[in-house]
Amino acid sequence: MTVDLPQILSGKVRELYDAGEDRLVMVASDRVSAFDVIMAEPIRDKGRVLTAMTCFWFEEMADVVPGTLLAADPAAISAALGGGALPPGWVGRAMLVRRAEMLPIECVVRGYLAGSAWEEYERTGTVHGMEMPEGLLLASELEKPIFTPATKAAEGHDVNIGMAEAVDLVGAESALAAQAVSLELYRRAAARAAAAGFILADTKFELGYVDGVLCLCDEVCTPDSSRLWPADAVVPGTTPPAFDKQPLRDWLAAQPWDRTPPPPPLPPEVTTALSQRYVAAYERVTGRSLGDWYGATT
């Protein structure tokens, strides 16, 4: 008998299932999106990397904030769901988690100037409405990491908001708690990344309440939710070679494509490079081999 759960959501990368008893099963697929369009070709091992890396960070961050993770071991998930076999695509890609009352904000922390923060700074000299020093460049390190929340978008890009708007959405107590927790999580993750030769330029966390306690949820400090730069290749004023979807974005940008579905077929050299980059990010940051994670194939 195979586990059969009601599906709640199918996102760009993840599938979400109701496991009963205030639990969910989150499954990270090998899908990849760029410019808000899902590519047709899967990226080998991407779902395993996202799951393994998230589980690593849940362990590392447990003394900062509790996580919602209950199990990632396929045997433990199977037992918790009544003993049925997991669908083949779940092994190494599934997490059994507690259901949380999610904060309706993305908890973004930035240590470097990039992305939408750089675009705003170029226009106004501010980041999320906060005055910044003059003369900063793309990829410049900020004086200190800053909490820059955003609203969650069902489709397209999230929308940057200020702290005052975050307070309006979730209340002062929750907003301040989310800010403090997110900054400490970023500090911890950035130090670990630095030891591995990376700069964690920015990342986003998802937080929610379980039985009144603020908890860390969803994916944590993965190449999908972070800008991870090789430290020896960062030159302020130029775009760093991010250890994420950059080979995909670069290839797509060179194609005669208007960024609407359907996307152009990806050649094997692009999908292979992307897979290798995800695996390398996991193995270098965690010091673990992906071959030791559930679902490994030869």
155 pLDDT band, cuts 50/70/90, is low
Q: How many domains does the chain have?
A: 2
| Interval 184-211 mean pLDDT | 97
| Interval 16-32 mean pLDDT | 97
**Collapsed DSSP state (helix, strand, coil) of residue 130:** strand
What does each C-alpha distance from 48 to 211, 231, 297 come to in angstroms? 29, 25, 11
The reply to whether 146 falls in a domain is: yes
Claim to verify: residue 221 and residue 127 sit in the same structural domain: yes
Minimal CA–CA distance to 77: which of 67, 92, 65, 62? Answer: 92
The reply to whether 270 falls in a domain is: no
Claim to verify: residue 132 and residue 183 sit in the same structural domain: yes
Has residue 85 got a pLDDT over 70?
yes
The reply to whether 184 falls in a domain is: yes
The per-residue pLDDT for range 116-137, each reduced to its tens digit, is 899 999 999 999 899 999 999 9
Has residue 7 got a pLDDT over 60?
yes
230 vs 226: CA distance, rounded Å: 13
Which of 56, 82, 99 is the endpoint of a domain?
A: 99
35 pLDDT band, cuts 50/70/90, is confident
Six token digits for residue 56: 């690593």
Which of 77, 99, 121 is the endpoint of a domain?
A: 99
The reply to whether 38 falls in a domain is: yes
Which of 214, 233, 252 is the endpoint of a domain?
A: 233
Claim to verify: residue 73 and residue 127 sit in the same structural domain: no
Q: Which amino acid is present at 80?
A: A
For the chain, how long is the longest CA-to-CA vector? 63
Q: Are 110 and 201 in contact (CB under 8 A)?
A: yes
Minimal CA–CA distance to 193: which of 224, 223, 152, 238? Answer: 223
Percentage of residues of the chain with pLDDT beyond 90: 88
The reply to whether 238 falls in a domain is: no
Claim to verify: residue 218 and residue 113 sit in the same structural domain: yes
Has residue 168 got a pLDDT over 70?
yes
Has residue 114 got a pLDDT over 70?
yes
Claim to verify: residue 108 and residue 55 sit in the same structural domain: no
Has residue 81 got a pLDDT over 80?
yes
Q: Which amino acid is present at 239?
A: T
Claim to verify: residue 107 and residue 88 sit in the same structural domain: no
Claim to verify: residue 72 and residue 128 sit in the same structural domain: no
Predicted pLDDT of residue 245: 82
Claim to verify: residue 207 and residue 126 sit in the same structural domain: yes
φ, ψ at 208 (rounded to 5°): -160, 170
191 pLDDT band, cuts 50/70/90, is very high
Has residue 57 got a pLDDT over 60?
yes
The reply to whether 274 falls in a domain is: no
298 pLDDT band, cuts 50/70/90, is low
Has residue 251 got a pLDDT over 80?
yes
Predicted pLDDT of residue 1: 84
Predicted pLDDT of residue 242: 84
247 pLDDT band, cuts 50/70/90, is confident
CB-based contacts of 122-128 (< 8 A; 24+ apart in sequence): 128/160, 128/161, 128/162, 128/163
Predicted pLDDT of residue 119: 92
Predicted pLDDT of residue 36: 85
| Interval 192-203 mean pLDDT | 97
The reply to whether 261 falls in a domain is: no
106 pLDDT band, cuts 50/70/90, is very high
- Whole-model pTM: value is 0.94
The separation between the first and the last C-alpha atoms of the chain, rounded to the nearest angstrom, is: 26
Claim to verify: residue 125 and residue 219 sit in the same structural domain: yes
The CATH number given to whatever domain includes residue 14 is 3.30.200.20
Claim to verify: residue 28 and residue 71 sit in the same structural domain: yes
Predicted pLDDT of residue 225: 92
Percentage of residues of the chain with pLDDT beyond 70: 98
Predicted pLDDT of residue 29: 96
Claim to verify: residue 223 and residue 114 sit in the same structural domain: yes
40 vs 207: CA distance, rounded Å: 31
Claim to verify: residue 114 and residue 171 sit in the same structural domain: yes
The CATH number given to whatever domain includes residue 119 is 3.30.470.20
> Which residue segment(s) compose the domain that 214 sits in?
102-233
| Interval 144-157 mean pLDDT | 82
The reply to whether 189 falls in a domain is: yes
